[in-house]
Each structure stands twice: as structure tokens, then as C-alpha cells.
Structure 1
Amino acid sequence: MHRRNALSVIAAGACPISAAARKHAEDGDKAIYLSFDTGHMGIAPFVAEVLRRQQVPVTFFAAHERTQQGDGCLGEYWAPWWRERAREGHAFASHTWQHAVWRADLPPAHGQPRFRIQPGAGPHAGQRLVWSAREYCADIRRAAERLAELTGVAALALYRAPGGKTSPALLAAAARCGYRHVGWSRAGFLGDELPSERYPNDALLAQALRDVRPGDILLAHLGIWSRKDPWAPAVLEPLISGLKARGLRFRTLREHPEHAPWIAAHAGAGAA
């Protein structure tokens, strides 16, 4: 598959350009929003070092995924890492507890929407399960509450579905229990989960430096198991420096003009 076509397919979870985002750019606001989803956490110390050195705030979306070291992303082993990120002023939101991937909508039962869900972590990893809307919300909330326990900071009333896979019914169910979904901008798909043999780091860096615009939400991960040449050690700091040189400013999603009103109105959703 042609490189650009492959990126288009894999970036299908990108959020469309909204009226708020367009106004964000028209007003001359140079903010961009770097976000990290969890992963194997092998590069998490390096990412933290770069963010601290560059004084860049980000939003972390966390699931309790399997890690190279320790007892999972939201286990006790990584608790000091999360506490330190909170002291540095980063923001936190749910990525679902079990890295729960939506696969399909199912007919409602007893008035409750139902979904085919495939957890990527936990005791049911890899299985295809049937969840009610209530069960899906509970999985979002569990990660948010654990983040609050670890950091001492309430998680944002936002979440990101693993892989960006959603349906209107799924998003409506999450919204009813206080969580708004946040994807990423098309140019903000940084490509760190793509195979490095076909998508080398230098090409991904050049593409991001060329294409990222004010208002974009950027997506990267705290470690991808399948990528042979890790993205962050080669790309993260040059990317940040290059975007700063273009006059862009990094902010957390709590300051995003489209999401800030929702966060304020649903402040208790991600609290412990």
C-alpha cells in the first residue's frame, strides 16, 4: 500500500475539523495539543525527561495495559511516575481500563444499548465480549478513578477509545455518563504505531513538521510493542523544537476551546 494511503487508513480515528477548531486557528491562537496514550511504558522515562526539559505540558490517556516492567500502566510500579507527571502540571484522562476496543453495535437489551467489545488488557484480553452501556461506562470510569488515586488530580471528563474506534451509539452512551470522546487531528497522527521498516522516523518527523497546524491534537504512545525502531528517542524532541520554532505553543486539552466547556460542566466525572 502507498505510504500516504496507509496513513489515511490507519488515521481513520482522526476527528473532523470542527467549527471550534477553525475559529481557534482564525483567531491566531497558536496552541497545539500533544497527547500520549499508554503502551508498554518502556520509553515513559525518556518521554518524561524530554517534556520536562522542553517545558511542554501534555494530556495522558491511560489504560491498565501490560508493560515491559511492573504490574501494568496503572499498577503500583508506575505510581511514582504518574505522581511526578501530576506535579509537573500535565493532564490525565481515561483510555478505558481494559483498553476496550469497540467492534460493533448490538441490538439493545432491556432498554440498554449493547456493544461488542474486545479488551486488549486484563483477564479477557483478546476475547470478544458483549457489554452494556453501563459496563462500558464503568470501564471508562475505572481508569479515570485510578488516575485520580495515583496523581491526586481529578482526571478530565474526556476519554479516548482505543484505536479511535467508536460508533454514534457508543459515543452517546459515554456522553450520558459524563465522558466526551477525544480523537486526534489528521495531521496529528504521528505514526509511532506504524512499522518502522515502512515508516522510518525521519519521514514521520518531516511529515509532522510540515503538516501540523494550530489547533491540532497530536497523538503518540508510551511504547509500541511492534515497532522495531522506537519513535520517541529519534523524533520527540526534534518535533517539539521544530514546532516551537514555527511559533506553536503546547497546551493540555483542559485548555482546548472545544473541550474546556464540557470539562467544566462535568468536573466530577473523572474524580476519585
Structure 2
Amino acid sequence: MIRDTVTRMLRRFAIVLIAFGACASSATPRNECEKPVYLTFDTGHMGIAPLVAEVLQRQQVRVTFFGANERTKEGDGSLGDHWAPWWRARAQEGHEFASHTWDHVYWRGDLGGKVNPSFRVRPSAGPREGEAHVLSAAGYCEQIDRAAHRLQAMTGRQPLPLFRAPGGKTSPQLLAAARACGYTHVGWSPAGFLGDELPSDKFGNAALLHTALRDIRSGDILLAHLGIWSRKDPWAPAVLEPLIQGLKERGFCFRTLREHPDLGKKQ
């Protein structure tokens, strides 16, 4: 009889615990995020791409990748067949994708008027690498579209209707042309420039990490790359994982641009 009484008491206690857990779960959703930051990666030589993927998977962080078909240390370009399995795996992990223009085309100036705009450009990849030439608005849109379509073909995931101009270099006329073909430009926050493009002899990893942890604020869009040719002391994973861990310790959480309160409305 004593055993039966104890059993009944334990069952009632378990029911209370389950009910309390359900209430707590509903009161505090698992996906609640009060201090979001938006980590983004542009393509590059892809030499550190596998290490970046390992860190993101280990830290359970989802990011937004902006892809261009840049020259790589291995394979046939960052959006080439060699790297297609890598992109497909990132899609399976829940990351998001957007265009960085196919040939990594830098805007250099506006030509023409608002009715028929064209642009002076200089791509850093592709058959016209390093060559200054002129693109019409339709030609620039084709550059955005081509990278977006390739990302979708590799990942099976619809890219975001966003793009990032190489170097963040734009003009009101260029942005208007991109909007006309369905794309919104995304730059980065001042504190979100993580410095992996800077020379490592003047801007060491420890200093870049310290600056980022000190200055990043809620809502910032952060920028890094999948390999910078000129940086001798790779930024990732040396800075990437301590940065993620440090921001988490400060109460930040990581979201993709699909979840951005302003950019998400455009999708």
C-alpha cells in the first residue's frame, strides 16, 4: 500500500513538472532573439571555406552567403562545379544565399541619364578581369541574375532577392537599376566590417577580434569573406570562432538576412 501511494505521488509530481515545462516553453520561445546580428560572407579564394563551414556547424550559427564566381585556390571558381557540393551542404544546414554579381563587378561610375543608364565597371574575375568597360543597366542586372541562378542550381534553394556590390561600391542610379530588376542592395554596418580584407601585418587577428567585440551592436550586419588573397594571416578560423563565442557570451544571437526586420519584408 505504501508503494502504491508513493507511485501515485511520483506520477502527480511528474505531471506537474510536464505542465510547468510546457508553460515555460510557451512563455519563452526557443527562437526568441533580443540582440540579433547578421553574419554574412562574400566569396573569395575559398581556401578557408571548409574551416568556416566547420566553425558555423560547431557553433550552430546560420549566415547569409553572397556569391560571385571568383578565382579560387582550388577548382574552377567559387561558383564552379568543384565547389558545388560545398554550397549544397551549406543549403542543407539552413544557410541563405544571395548574389555578389557573377564576375565580381566593381562599379566605377555612372554614364548616361536616368532613362537609359549605363555604368563604368571593372570586374575582378571572369574573361574581362581587370578590364574597364561599360555595362548597361540590363547588363548589370544580368550579372546579378547569373550568380543568383547559379546559386539556386547548386543549392536547390531560392536565393534572397538581395545583392551586394563588390566593395560595397554603388550609386543611386545603380541601386535604382537593380531595384528595377528585383534586387535590393545590402551593405554592412560600420562596426560590422570585420577587417579580414586588411593587411595582417598592420591589423592582426587579435586586434580585429578586440575591435569587433567592443563595437558590434544589436542589429548590425557583419561582413567577412571566404578567403582574401592579400591577407597572409587568415582571419578565419582564428577570429571567427572566438568572435561568435564572444558575441554569444554578450547576449547576441545570429540570424540570416531572411529574418532581418527590414530586408525580410522585401522577400
TM-score by length of 2: 0.87
Shift of 1:233: 2.3
Which of 224, 235, 241 does residue 237 from structure 1 map onto? Answer: 241
Could you report, residue by residue, the CA deviation over 1:208-256 in whole angstroms, capped at 9, with x for unpaired residues? 0011111000000000000010111210000000000001000000000
Distance 2:185 2:152 in 1: 19
1:1-16 correspondence runs (5 A): none
Distance 1:35 1:172 in 2: 23
The one-letter code matched in structure 2 to 1:87 is Q
- The equivalent residue for 1:107 is 112
Aligned length: 236
- The equivalent residue for 1:252 is 256
Residue 74 of structure 2 is aligned to residue 74 of structure 1: no
What secondary structure, in the 3-state scheme, does the structure 1 residue paired with 2:246 have?
helix
Distance 1:219 1:86 in 2: 19
Displaced runs of 4 or more, over 3 A: none
- The equivalent residue for 2:69 is 64
Residue 184 of structure 2 is aligned to residue 180 of structure 1: yes
Distance 1:64 1:51 in 2: 22
Report which of the two structures shows the higher radius of gyration computed on alpha carbons: 2
What secondary structure, in the 3-state scheme, does the structure 1 residue paired with 2:239 have?
helix
Which of 207, 229, 232 does residue 228 from structure 1 map onto? Answer: 232
Distance 1:205 1:217 in 2: 16
Residue 123 of structure 2 is aligned to residue 119 of structure 1: yes
TM-score by length of 1: 0.85
- The equivalent residue for 2:134 is 130
Distance 1:170 1:189 in 2: 22
- The equivalent residue for 2:195 is 191
Shift of 1:107: 1.7
Distance 1:161 1:145 in 2: 17
The one-letter code matched in structure 1 to 2:262 is E
Unaligned segments of structure 1, at least 5 residues: 1-27, 264-272
Unaligned segments of structure 2, at least 5 residues: 1-32
Residue 158 of structure 2 is aligned to residue 154 of structure 1: yes
- The equivalent residue for 2:171 is 167
The one-letter code matched in structure 1 to 2:70 is E
Could you report, residue by residue, the CA deviation over 1:129-187 in whole angstroms, capped at 9, with x for unpaired residues? 11110000010000000000000000000000000000000000000100000000000
Distance 1:233 1:84 in 2: 19
The one-letter code matched in structure 2 to 1:182 is V
**Pairwise CA RMSD of aligned residues?**
1.2
Distance 1:237 1:33 in 2: 15
Shift of 1:108: 3.7
The one-letter code matched in structure 1 to 2:150 is R
Distance 1:133 1:214 in 2: 35
- The equivalent residue for 1:52 is 57
Could you report, residue by residue, the CA deviation over 1:52-102 in whole angstroms, capped at 9, with x for unpaired residues? 000000000000000000000000000000000000000000000000000
Shift of 1:262: 0.6
The answer to whether the 8 Å contact 2:55/2:237 transfers is no
The one-letter code matched in structure 2 to 1:253 is L
Distance 1:206 1:119 in 2: 33
